[in-house]
Amino acid sequence: METGGFASDSPSGAVDRRDDGRGCDGLSVEDMDAAGVRLASEVMDRCRVGGVRVAVAESLTGGLLADAFVSVPGASSVFLGSAVTYDVKAKASLLRVDARLLRDQGAVHPAVAAQMAEGVARLFDQPQYAGRVLGLSTTGVAGPGPDERGRAEGLAYVGVSIPCEVAGSAGNRRGMVMEIRASGGRERIRRYVVVGLLRYVMQLTGGGWE
């Protein structure tokens, strides 16, 4: 039996923005880690003001995104948890990413990122949170070399799922996806995806939460 995906306001996972991977030029891996922690702290500050929690689903970053959040003192007031779904079947069974989509397109696809973000927000939601959970996701090719479908090393998609009540729009949840083209080897690529996603969240929430 195939696992069905969620219906959302961005069912196709269309890419809204692209990042050329140059945003950390000149930074060491350690500097990128520090940037990730600083950005995670800023994201949580905005969430805390709006009564929003955060949950993350990770593939190529393998826990680095969650680590950026939990490195911040007081993270437990906002950060709910992480699902590291490296395996394709785990994406379907835990996050309810559409199994047919995964079979036809593989894990590195904008719609997969969108469904992962929505799925993890729902996975960690509780009645007391009333759906006010920000879902974030990462999926891509860390390398070395392209994946089995020929997708280039450094290609990644990051997803953001925001409750429409918070985003100020109609519907259930608002889903957005950014494409990243990173370079510099496996460790830099994985860290750049974390930094790129958190910068994207800061841009999306520039006006704060309602």
pLDDT over 60 at 31, yes or no: yes
Q: Which CATH number belongs to the domain containing residue 74 in this structure?
A: 3.90.950.20
pLDDT tens-digit map of 164-205: 777 666 667 889 999 999 999 999 999 999 999 999 999 998
pLDDT (0 to 100) of residue 10? 43
Residue 1 lies in a domain: no
Distance CA 109, CA 113 (A): 7
Q: If you count them, how many residues does the chain have?
A: 210
Residue 5 lies in a domain: no
Residue 9 lies in a domain: no
Closest listed residue to residue 192, CA positions, set 10, 22, 45: 22
pLDDT (0 to 100) of residue 2? 39
Q: How far apart are the first and last CA of the chain?
A: 40
Least confident stretch, 19-23, 94-98, 206-210: 206-210
If DSSP states are collapsed to H, E and C, what string results for 110-154? HHHHHHHHHHHHHHHCCHHHCCCEEEEEEEECCCCCCCCCCCCCC
Residue 10 lies in a domain: no
Tokens representing 31 are 């500097």
Residue 79 lies in a domain: yes
Residue 65 lies in a domain: yes
Pairing of strands 53-58, 79-84: parallel
pLDDT (0 to 100) of residue 49? 93
Residue 33 lies in a domain: yes
Residue 119 lies in a domain: yes
Which residue in the block uniquely carries the two structure tokens 């259930």?
172
pLDDT over 80 at 207, yes or no: no
User: How many domains is the chain built from?
Assistant: 1
Task: Identify the band that residue 206 occupies on the pLDDT scale cut at 50, 70 and 90.
Answer: confident
Task: Provide the domain limits for residue 47.
Answer: 15-141+151-204
pLDDT (0 to 100) of residue 13? 67
pLDDT tens-digit map of 113-159: 999 999 999 999 999 999 999 999 999 999 999 999 999 999 999 99
Pairing of strands 15-19, 79-84: unpaired
Task: Identify the band that residue 9 occupies on the pLDDT scale cut at 50, 70 and 90.
Answer: very low
